[in-house]
Amino acid sequence: GEKGQPRIFRTYKSGDRLEKGIWNIPIPAEGDPVLPDIVISPIVGIDPSNYRLGYGGGFFDRTLAAMPFKPLVIGVGYELQRIATIYPQPHDIPMDRIVTVT
């Protein structure tokens, strides 16, 4: 996918061909797009309103905004990543749930 564009979700099973995506993260190379019911996303920071600070590309919010429905969104990170605010912008979408470890 191109930088600045929403991500496309595809199914994956062991053995499927992968290609390098953004940040060289392996992604499924082929297959029809799918719409997930649940999205799990890493966090760099999370505020009390469940707004997520990510990796700076804006991919996460763009992808959710482009979907025809909002999936359950779960942020995953460390307890020490809780911050007072991320100064959310109008396009930011909060997490539904947060899972952290200490």
pLDDT in tens, 42-99: 999 999 999 999 877 778 888 899 999 999 999 999 999 999 999 998 888 999 999 9
Q: Is the pLDDT of residue 7 over 80?
A: yes
58: in domain = yes
Q: Which domain holds residue 74?
A: 36-101
Work out whether strand 72-78 and strand 45-46 pair parallel, antiparallel, or are unpaired.
Answer: unpaired
Q: Which pLDDT score is estimated for 2?
A: 59
The CATH number covering residue 51 comes to 3.40.50.10420
Q: Which pLDDT score is estimated for 1?
A: 53
27: in domain = no
Q: Where are the alpha helices (DSSP H) in the chain?
A: 59-66
Q: Is the dihedral of CA 75, 77, 78, 84 positive or negative?
A: negative
Q: Which pLDDT score is estimated for 21?
A: 85
